[in-house]
Chains A and B, each alone.
Chain A
Amino acid sequence: MAEPQHTIHEKKDEPRAAAGEFEPKIIGFLCNWCSYAGADLCGVSRYQYPTNVRPVRVMCSTRISPHLVLDIFKAGADGILLGGCHLNDCHYISGNFYTEKRVRLMLKLLEDAGVDPKRLRLEWVSASEGEKFSKVVTEFTETIRNLGPNQVKKDAALRSKIAAADEASDTFRLRALVGKELGLEKTGNVYGNKLEQTELEKLIDIATKEEFERSLILELSKDKARSVKELGKIMEVPTDRVLRHIVVLRQKNMLSMDHPEGFTPTYKTIIIGGEQ
């Protein structure tokens, strides 16, 4: 006798769009030459897929800065799909190599912010891969459906963290590092020393963490002056580390200090005039 197989069949025919079911909102940045064209071909070939992705056309995936992605997550998107040409097949020769580097930073920052990195997906879809496009969208929609809604609008702590990640992504340091990453790997620094990819990545990861924490301090101290201890607790970061960040931020004139006699000093974000 065959084994009963009910577990496999059980869920299969449940109507997907049952009342009140979560319908993910997904933004799909598609590059004009490959993935947008692939999506066009998908349409021409009538491959069906769920209705959740909202495509936004850009010329090249390289256009998508981490800021765009994080800002859109901050605005409540449940998922973001980035579509580009296959490596070595970019309409703009090398654009997608930069995309790869930026996506790495985005994923790191999402992780820091407590957003499941699975909510961001980078896919190479060529103009001839119509069917692949439908598969990617179907799969990704399912992934996001399983992850559930982005809680940013309901969860204030998450909101500050995503905002901090967004700010961090636009700092000079991270943008400069990621911008130069590929060049440093390929041709080396001004002294001609090539850097190992893993070494560079380590460097960037450390910088990312620091910039994220600093941005989070600024974010948390926007509306309310806070002490080192308080910040350390909210951020779950040791106080000596918080203090080090504060020193840097004070040097950059981004934090003001209030130190009433006999009380612990508190810090508040300087809104006007700062390089924010």
Chain B
Amino acid sequence: MTMAETKKTDPNEKPRIGVYVCHCGSNIGGFVDVPSVAEYAKTLPDVVYATDNLYTCAEDGLTSIREGIRKHNLNRVVVASCTPRTHAPLFQTTCESAGLNKYLFTFVNIREHCSWVHMKEKEKATLKARDLIKMGVARARLLMPQEEEKVDVEPTGLVIGGGVSGMTAALSLADMGFPVHLVEKEGELGGFVRNLNNLYVTEKSATETIKPLIEKVKASKNVKLHLNSQVKSVEGFIGNYDVVMASKGAEDIKTKVGTIVVATGALEFVPEGLYGYNQYPNIVTLTEFEILCKKKSLPSLKNVAFIQCVGSRGQKVSYCSRICCNVAIKNAINIVDNYENMLGLAEKNGTIIDTVPVEKKVPDEILERRRRRRGRERGEEGEAEEVKLGPSEKIEVTVFNRDVMAYGVEHELTYNKAREHRVKFVRYTPENPPKVFMEGNQLMVSYFHETLKLDRSMPVDMVVLSTPMVPQLDTREMSQMLKVPQGQDGWFLEAHVKLRPVDFATDGIYVCGTCKGPADITEAATQAAAAASRAAIPMAKGYVQAEALTSVVDDIKCSGCGTCIQVCPYGAMRKNDKGLAETIVAACKGCGCCGATCPEMAITMTNYTDAQLLAEAKATLEEV
């Protein structure tokens, strides 16, 4: 489609409003008398054309909008259909293609907010739909065309955090040809993975797995690596961020970047005061366990218990940490299969464990016995064969869990493998968790056997606590510095969980990896590649258009008190040379906080003016 020349809409021209009422098949039409609503719309002030469409968003619907604009010389368009949150861009583009400024379009939601929620009262729903359109028309009459400001974008990226995510993002941007600053606060790249022994699914050594990535980053000409560094301050807005980086023992580095990718990772929750952690010997977290394995310094073990969901899922944090079941399963298999390799005593010339032997030969009859037992466990309760607990020749591994979240194709297979390899899975309920205690010199775990309905206990040599990932301690400061939001659990919050999963609401800043919530390496790397390509879009284009949804300061009314500068969450207000407030259009997100605050009432919100909001609301209050 070719761009139609934009018709110059004279703001002072008398409004000529077109109203398009959508049936949405029967989604609206089935519960609202749409034709009568369209007829009603014709009676509203300044409405010169109104019609109903079966599907306004389908090609013929869009054509009818374009034709209406031309034929009836419409200078405002109202579509009454679904939700602006998904469909506004489509109708706005349609208006633009017919020469109408997109800010002269108004959306009225008569589906999600009407037909779908009043399915049993057609008459009342129809009245409400009429009212909503009346309100939309009242708003449309006061709309003004807006120009969007073009902002140049500096084609340099900044990636914060040098774990798998940060490295992947930096490398992707570098490969696209953009110079990238990669800032890592530690002295080494690699992030959390540096703690890990081997990685689930591949069972390959963690160190070996990320080695090529680290090497590529170091070799890349476009990546400027800043180790032992942190970002000290970030000022500006999309395309124009002034960044100061502080490195240990060096002078601060100032630089300008266009976009920023945040990949600062996560921490492991420390289960202080839970299950005897730091109170009894040999009680470790998953990460500590991985470190012991990696350093080959496990003590001699016969009985190991993993306790899942320590502190997560409604305990200390609300969420499920997503990875710990699979990490525990991985480690359980490691112990059963490859224990000698990780033993401090049986050091083998310092070689790293590259692969875990695939299948340890288990006698067929034992396999057969286990298969039968599993069948019974799945069948009726109380029948399960008594499992012999206690010290034995081999290592016994028990995973106490609330549910096993071994999702997807691969994890289910690994879970099955663990069962094949004698790992026992015992369920507990959050009301009745296992207990860890000492009996003389012996570490013990007691638990309630849900199937047998019996209290049991067993001696153990080590307890591994699966605790959740938690946000970095400085997430709050980072969020304030970057002006990006955190969600309820303190993780960084994306702009839209479904549609914009790696964008922040703040334009020009993107997020990936475990700093936005628990994820494994596969997921972190996927997000990182996505974040990098999102960050590359404005840089490749060279400019962005700032939505004309901003504050505007009337410098006759402004007294320069600075309150707006104080309340703006985006630093989008500044003082000009006259000492008066001024909006930085590219940084302003149009929240309206300054407008509702300014004591001199000097601030107007473009496209959401007081007059527009009041007209919209009051339209329904008029006596009919």
Contact = CB atoms under 8 A, between A and B. Distances in A.
A65 B605 CA distance: 12
Interface in A90-105: 90-95, 98, 102
B113 A72 contact: no
Nearest to B131: A54
Contacts of B596: 62-65, 98, 102
A54 B610 contact: no
Closest 6 CB pairs of A and B: A63-B592, A43-B112, A179-B597, A176-B599, A65-B596, A43-B116
B599 A60 contact: no
Interface string A223-266: 00000000000000000000000000000000000000000000
Contacts of A179: 563, 566-567, 597-599
A35 to B, nearest CB: 11
B320 to A, nearest CB: 16
A68 B614 CA distance: 7
B52 interface: no
Interface string B81-112: 00111000000000000000000000001011
A137 B128 CA distance: 15
Interface in B109-165: 109, 111-114, 116-121, 124-125, 127-128, 131-132, 135
A71 interface: yes
Contact of A62 (B83, B485, B593, B616): B593
8 contacts: A36-B85, A46-B117, A58-B592, A68-B610, A71-B614, A92-B485, A93-B484, A98-B596
B600 A172 contact: yes
Interface in B455-504: 479, 483-488, 493, 495, 497
A98 B566 CA distance: 12
Interface string A170-213: 10110110111011000000000000000000000000000000
Given A40-B83, A48-B118, A179-B567, A27 B599 contact: no
A115 interface: no
A39 interface: yes
B334 to A, nearest CB: 38
Contacts, number: 164
Contacts of B201: none
A38 to B, nearest CB: 10
A134 B117 contact: yes
Contacts of A92: 485, 505, 569-570, 589, 591, 593
Given A17-B124, A43-B112, A76-B621, A62 B614 contact: no
A216 B85 CA distance: 42
**Residue of A46, A93, A179 with highest tally of chain B CB at under 10 A:** A93
Interface in A54-87: 54-60, 62-65, 67-68, 71-72, 75-77, 86
Contact of A63 (B116, B505, B593, B599): B593
Interface of B: 83-85, 109, 111-114, 116-121, 124-125, 127-128, 131-132, 135, 479, 483-488, 493, 495, 497, 505, 549, 561, 563, 566-567, 569-570, 589-593, 595-601, 605, 608, 610, 613-614, 616-618, 620-621
A61 B591 CA distance: 8
A89 B599 contact: no
A72 B621 contact: yes
Contact of B112 (A17, A42, A71, A180): A42
B302 to A, nearest CB: 46
Given A49-B117, A64-B596, A89-B485, 12 more contacts: A39-B113, A46-B116, A51-B125, A59-B549, A59-B590, A59-B608, A63-B596, A102-B596, A134-B117, A176-B561, A176-B599, A179-B599
Contact of B85 (A32, A56, A75, A183): A32
B501 to A, nearest CB: 14
B111 A43 contact: yes
Contacts of B549: 59
A89 B113 contact: no
Contact of B135 (A42, A54, A64, A72): A54
A123 B28 CA distance: 28
Nearest to A171: B599
A88 interface: yes
A47 interface: yes
A126 to B, nearest CB: 9
A93 B569 contact: yes
Given A46-B116, A51-B128, A67 B610 contact: yes
A44 interface: yes
Given A51-B124, A76-B621, A179-B563, A88 B486 contact: yes
A62 to B, nearest CB: 4
A58 B608 contact: yes
A192 B599 CA distance: 22
Nearest to B566: A183
B117 A48 contact: yes
A165 interface: no
B620 A175 contact: no
A94 B117 contact: no
B493 A89 contact: yes
Given A63-B595, A93-B485, A56 B621 contact: no
B592 A57 contact: no
A64 B608 CA distance: 11
Contacts of B608: 58-59, 63
B478 to A, nearest CB: 12
A40 B84 CA distance: 10
A269 to B, nearest CB: 20
A163 interface: no
Contacts of B114: 51
Contact of A55 (B109, B561, B589): B109
B610 A175 contact: no
Contact of A86 (B132, B135, B488, B601): B488
A159 interface: no
Given A67-B610, A98-B567, A183-B567, A57 B597 contact: no
